C-alpha cells in the first residue's frame, strides 16, 4: 500500500509517493507559474495522476494535502490567500471526482507541520505537542491528547495575532501583534522602522536603502554585533518566549518545536527563548516541556500531508473492525 503527500504553496507544488512505513519513494515538484483558481486545482489533480503512474504499479489508497490557509472541514473547501480564486475553493470534491477510489484528506499547513514532526520528526512518541512555524508569518500546529484540533471555524493556531505588547496600535491591524515583531516580515519591518528613526546610525544595515532591509539582513548584521539588529532580535526573542509560555500554560505540551524559514538562523536562540518563557509560563509545565528545533525542516509539511493520509486509512480500518 502506498500513499501520496502533497505540499501546496503559493508558488509551487511538492508531492511525493510514500510507503506506509514513511519511506519517500518518489518526489516531484511543479511550479504554479502564476496559475490561479481552477488551474491550480487542475495541477494538483495532474500531480496525483503522475504519482499514480509509478514504476512498481503500487496501489495508492489515500492522498493527504497541505494547503497554505484555512480548510473548512464541514464544507470541504479551502481558503488560500496567496492563491487567487481560492476564497472557498472545492478542492476535495475536485480530486474525488477525478479519483473516486482515493481517500482524500486536506489540512492547513500548520496542522501538517506538527503531523510531520509526530510521524518522522522531533515529536515522535508525543501525544501533546506544538509546532511554532515562523516564516513570513507565524502559526502553530497543535496536537492535544493525540488529536488534531481545529476550533469552531477551523482557524485554530493563528498565533501571529497573540496580544503581547500594549497599547494597541494600527501597526497590528494587518497581521497581529506577535507577527508584527517576530515573524520574518516583522523582523524586517522593525529594523526598517528603527533605521528610519536613527539619523546617526552608520552600522552594517546602513549599507543598503532602508526600504530594502529584510530579516536576512538583520540576522547577518546580528552576527557582527550590530546594535539595531541586536535590538530587533532581542525583542523577537522576548516575544517568542512570551508567546510560547502562553501556549505551554494553556495546553501543557510535551514539546514546543520551532520551524519555518526564520528558524534556520534563529535556532541558536532556542535556549534564550526557553529562559524567557520560564519567566512567564506555568512553572510546573515549563519544567516538564522541551523546546527544540524541527527535525524534518523543509519537509515537515510533505511528511505531515502523507501522515494525514495514513492516519485516515488507519482510522477507517479501526472503524471497519469495530463494525465486524
3-state secondary structure at position 59: coil
CA 61 to each of CA 6, 71, 108: distance values in angstroms, whole numbers, following the listed order: 14, 22, 21
CB 48 within 8 A of CB 15: yes
> pTM here?
0.93
Q: Give the largest CA-CA distance in the chain.
A: 77
User: What does the alpha-carbon distance between residue 289 and residue 266 come to, in Å, rounded to a whole number?
Assistant: 20
Task: Give which of 33, 10, 48, 39 is closest to 305, Cα–Cα.
Answer: 48
Q: Is 283 helix (H, G, I), strand (E, B) or coil?
A: helix
Tens of pLDDT along the chain (324 residues) come to 799 999 999 899 999 999 988 899 999 999 999 999 999 999 999 999 999 886 666 788 999 999 999 999 888 899 999 899 999 999 999 999 999 999 999 999 999 999 999 999 999 999 999 999 999 999 999 999 999 999 999 999 999 999 999 999 999 999 999 999 999 999 999 999 999 998 889 999 998 999 999 999 999 999 999 999 999 999 999 999 999 999 999 999 999 999 999 999 999 999 999 999 999 999 999 999 999 999 997 899 999 999 999 998 887 766 666 555
Give me the count of residues in the chain. Answer: 324
Helix axes 227-251, 184-197, angle to 10 degrees: 140
Ramachandran assignment for 79, one of left (phi > 0), alpha (psi -120 to 50 degrees), beta (any other)? beta
What's the CA gap between 64 and 292, in Å, rounded?
A: 26
Amino acid at each position: 500500500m502506498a500513499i501520496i503527500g502533497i505540499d501546496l504553496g503559493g508558488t509551487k507544488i511538492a508531492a511525493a509517493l510514500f510507503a506506509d512505513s514513511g519511506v519517500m519513494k518518489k518526489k516531484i515538484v511543479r511550479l504554479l507559474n502564476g496559475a490561479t483558481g481552477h488551474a491550480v486545482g487542475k495541477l494538483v489533480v495532474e500531480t496525483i495522476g503522475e504519482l499514480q503512474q509509478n514504476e512498481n504499479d503500487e496501489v495508492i489508497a489515500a492522498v493527504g494535502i497541505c494547503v497554505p490557509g484555512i480548510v473548512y472541514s464541514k464544507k470541504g473547501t479551502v481558503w488560500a490567500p496567496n492563491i487567487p480564486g481560492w476564497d472557498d475553493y472545492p478542492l476535495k470534491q475536485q480530486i474525488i471526482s477525478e479519483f473516486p477510489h482515493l481517500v482524500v484528506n486536506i489540512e492547513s499547513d500548520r496542522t501538517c507541520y506538527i503531523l510531520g514532526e509526530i510521524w518522522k520528526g522531533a515529536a515522535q512518541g508525543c501525544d501533546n505537542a506544538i509546532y511554532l512555524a515562523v516564516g513570513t508569518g507565524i502559526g502553530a500546529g497543535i496536537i492535544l491528547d493525540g488529536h488534531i484540533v481545529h476550533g469552531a471555524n477551523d482557524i485554530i493556531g493563528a498565533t501571529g495575532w497573540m496580544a503581547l505588547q500594549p497599547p494597541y496600535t494600527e501597526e497590528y491591524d494587518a497581521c497581529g501583534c506577535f507577527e508584527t515583531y517576530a515573524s520574518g516580515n516583522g523582523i524586517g519591518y522593525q529594523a526598517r522602522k528603527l533605521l528610519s528613526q536613527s539619523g546617526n546610525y552608520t552600522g552594517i544595515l546602513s549599507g543598503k536603502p532602508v526600504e530594502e532591509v529584510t530579516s536576512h539582513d538583520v540576522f547577518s548584521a546580528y552576527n557582527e554585533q550590530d546594535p539595531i539588529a541586536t535590538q530587533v532580535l532581542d525583542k523577537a526573542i522576548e516575544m517568542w518566549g512570551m508567546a510560547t509560555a502562553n501556549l505551554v500554560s494553556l495546553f501543557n505540551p510535551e514539546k514546543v518545536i520551532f520551524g519555518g524559514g526564520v528558524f534556520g538562523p534563529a535556532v541558536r536562540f532556542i535556549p534564550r527563548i526557553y529562559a524567557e518563557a520560564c519567566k512567564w509560563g506555568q512553572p510546573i509545565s515549563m519544567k516538564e516541556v522541551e523546546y527544540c528545533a524541527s527535525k524534518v525542516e523543509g519537509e515537515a509539511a510533505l511528511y505531515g500531508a502523507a501522515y494525514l493520509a495514513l492516519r485516515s486509512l488507519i482510522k477507517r480500518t479501526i472503524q471497519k473492525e469495530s463494525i465486524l
